């Protein structure tokens, strides 16, 4: 099944508090987005699921959290100052600026045609560096130039030795990091797919030259399976092997995991775009950040104070480790999970209902506890006590009594809450009162229902009766752990 298109997700996100246009009351700021109450929970859950898979569930990865501002020399020797650019063309007529390699896709802002059709008005392409510049220090003239990092990777390379030494690490092992990155994209767009400020989830995995192809294959498999495990349907995820002419000069191979971000496009090939790249970066990174001459990379590093060469503690062999880099976008992953979870089905009134079938580990709220009536204090107190108990035991739960029960169910379906727990008259053992009937006239509660609640499943809408005493275990079993 094709995923929902991005337009539908943009509207759901705004309507239900996942993602809002940033600085909206001032007219916004091109392609910047704020994660709202549910968006922050969803994205945190995506990041937590990634961290669990790559740091906690393995024994060969260390985590870190590096500074966004780094010494400018990092970007000189990484090659970003010289080469981290996109080709830019200007239109002499409309004064628009476009990525030269995208003119066949982009609409001309003046005429009903693609930018490529304006070729007579376009300047020659020139390189436009994507790094945002800033200054470190209070006085502008004396301040040191710095960049907002365009990737998290470099702090893992420059901390390689710190982590080997402080954590007694031997090759093979990796470093993982989640953090913000900034790129002054010429053409941002498509919601959170391409923005100027975004978050990355990156691994730099260091291995012995010669073992790199196997580790590369391992990581492609691992990362592909991670997306499937958390709910992406196999038909919406594919591998794209980069051709030699597409590879960075230092890379030996790179496979992209592509997601069907644009299911509405007629041309199947154009429906896919990058979710994560998994590159074999060879020994480039640790070499170029090491002091001295590196003829292989035509780099002479006169500034680094260290050599990042690795010495095998058993054989004493010295080498620069190869790096396998699975590099994912937290925002793109969040968007893909949202798109893939989106579904509609007819509600009891025949009208289409949105059901967001997020994996329980990713769902912003796991359980909504609802009293059947908000004007009956015993129902309210019991429901609030159940909510507090679940939350105390680490199950993200909310209490809600702001609408009738059918409406509350529909709202929770739309935001992906896997379970609703309803506290009703049977829970209190006093049976059901008909509208307007006096409580003492209510029929007795059927035997065995005292201190039980209804648990409703988001995807099947099935309801089962569960004793409150066993509710936590019942839910925990079905929610699993993140
Ligand atoms: N260290 C390698 C690196 O940064 P990349 O392919 O440029 O590789 C990795 O970026 C991932 O970061 C991409 O697959 C994508 O998910 C995410 N990403 C890159 N640019 C982005 C942007 N402008 N907006 C949102 N996500 C972006």
From 22, 102, 200, mutation site for ligand 1 pocket: most ligand atoms within 8 A of C-beta: 200
pLDDT tens string 260-301 = 999 999 999 999 999 999 999 999 999 999 999 999 999 999
pLDDT at 434: 61
Spatial separation of the C-alpha atoms in residues 287 and 252, rounded to whole Å? 15
Compare 254 and 189 and report the one with higher pLDDT. Answer: 254
Confidence band for 144, pLDDT divided at 50, 70 and 90: confident
Q: Tokens 């985590």, residue? A: 63
Q: How far apart are CA 14 and CA 39, in angstroms?
A: 10
- Please tell me the residue having the least CA distance from ligand 1 atom 10: 327
- The alpha carbon of 290 and the centre of ligand 1 are apart by a number of angstroms equal to 25
Q: pLDDT band for position 4 (50/70/90)?
A: confident
The residue to mutate among 198, 232, 336, having the most atoms of ligand 1 within 8 angstroms of its beta carbon, is 198
List residues near ligand 1 (CB under 6 A).
151, 153, 183, 185, 194-195, 198, 200, 202, 274-277, 325, 327-329, 331-332
Residue 435 clears pLDDT 70, i.e. is over it: no
Helix (H, G, I), strand (E, B) or coil at 471: helix
How far is 193 from 188, CA to CA, in rounded Å?
Answer: 8
Q: Residue 87: which pLDDT band, with cuts at 50, 70 and 90? A: very high
Report field, pTM of the whole predicted structure over 0.85: yes
d(CA 55, CA 200): 15
Helices (H), ranges, 168-289: 212-229, 284-288
* Cα dihedral value 12, 17, 22, 25, nearest 10: 100
Span 457-466, pLDDT tens digits: 999 999 999 9
- Provide the edge-to-edge strand list for the sheet that holds 126-129: 97-99, 85-90, 126-129
Does residue 337 contact residue 358 with C-beta atoms inside 8 Å? yes
Q: Which residues contact 311 (CB under 8 A, 6 or more apart)?
A: 317, 318
- Please state, in angstroms and rounded to a whole number, the distance separating the CA atoms of residues 282 and 209: 8
Pocket test for ligand 1, best of 46, 151, 203 (most atoms within 8 A of CB): 151
Where is mean pLDDT largest: 86-100, 163-177, 435-449?
Answer: 163-177
Q: What is the mean pLDDT of residues 214-239?
A: 98
From residue 236, alpha-carbon distances to 228, 269, 300, 333, 477 in Å are 10, 12, 45, 13, 28
Average pLDDT, integer, range 343-357: 94
152 pLDDT higher than 80 = yes
Asked if pLDDT for residue 394 goes beyond 80, the answer is yes
User: pLDDT, tens digit, for every residue of 413-433?
Assistant: 999 999 999 999 999 988 666
pLDDT tens sequence across 260-270: 999 999 999 99
* φ, ψ at 207 (rounded to 5°): -140, 170
Rounded Cα distance, 41 and 362, in Å:
8
pLDDT at 446: 73
State in Å: Cα 329 to ligand 1 middle.
6
Output the pLDDT for position 166. 98
């Amino acid at each position: 099944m094709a995923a929902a298109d991005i337009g539908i997700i943009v509207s759901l996100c705004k309507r239900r508090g996942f993602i809002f246009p940033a600085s909206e009351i001032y007219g916004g700021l091109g392609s910047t987005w704020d994660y709202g109450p549910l968006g922050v929970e969803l994205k945190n859950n995506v990041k937590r699921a990634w961290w669990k898979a790559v740091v906690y569930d393995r024994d060969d990865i260390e985590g870190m959290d590096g500074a966004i501002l780094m010494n400018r020399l990092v970007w000189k020797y990484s090659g970003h100052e010289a080469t981290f650019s996109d080709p830019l063309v200007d239109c002499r007529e409309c004064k628009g600026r476009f990525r030269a390699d995208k003119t066949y896709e982009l609409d001309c802002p003046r005429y009903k045609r693609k930018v490529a059709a304006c070729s007579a008005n376009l300047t020659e392409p020139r390189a436009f560096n994507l790094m945002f510049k800033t200054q470190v220090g209070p006085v502008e003239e004396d301040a040191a130039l710095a960049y907002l990092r365009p990737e998290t990777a470099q702090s893992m390379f420059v901390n390689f030795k710190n982590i080997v030494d402080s954590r007694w690490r031997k090759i093979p092992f990796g470093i993982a990091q989640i953090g913000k990155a900034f790129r002054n994209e010429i053409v941002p767009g498509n919601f959170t797919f391409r923005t100027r400020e975004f978050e990355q989830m990156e691994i730099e995995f260091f291995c012995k030259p010669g073992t790199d192809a196997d580790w590369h294959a391992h990581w492609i498999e691992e990362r592909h399976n991670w997306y499937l495990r958390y709910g992406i349907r196999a038909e919406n995820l594919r591998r794209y092997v980069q051709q030699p002419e597409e590879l960075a000069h230092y890379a030996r191979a790179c496979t992209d995991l592509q997601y069907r971000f644009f299911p509405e496009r007629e041309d199947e090939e154009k429906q896919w775009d990058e979710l994560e790249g998994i590159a074999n970066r060879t020994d480039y990174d640790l070499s170029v950040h090491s002091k001295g001459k590196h003829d292989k990379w035509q780099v002479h590093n006169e500034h680094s104070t260290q050599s990042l060469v690795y010495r095998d503690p058993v054989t004493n062999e010295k080498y620069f480790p190869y790096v396998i880099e699975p590099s994912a976008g937290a925002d793109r992953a969040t968007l893909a999970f949202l798109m893939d979870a989106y579904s509609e089905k007819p509600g009891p009134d025949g009208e289409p209902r949105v059901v967001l079938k997020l994996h329980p580990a990713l769902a912003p709220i796991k359980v909504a506890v609802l009293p059947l009536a908000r004007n009956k204090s015993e129902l309210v107190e019991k429901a609030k006590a159940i909510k507090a108990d679940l939350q105390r035991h680490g199950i993200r739960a909310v209490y809600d009594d702001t609408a009738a029960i059918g409406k509350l169910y529909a709202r929770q379906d739309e935001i992906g809450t896997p379970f609703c727990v309803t506290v009703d008259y049977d829970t209190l053992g006093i049976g059901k009162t008909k509208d307007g009937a006096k409580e003492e006239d209510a029929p007795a509660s059927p035997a065995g229902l005292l201190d039980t609640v209804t648990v409703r499943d988001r995807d099947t809408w099935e309801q089962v009766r569960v004793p409150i005493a066993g509710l936590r275990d019942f839910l925990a079993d079905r929610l699993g752990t993140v």
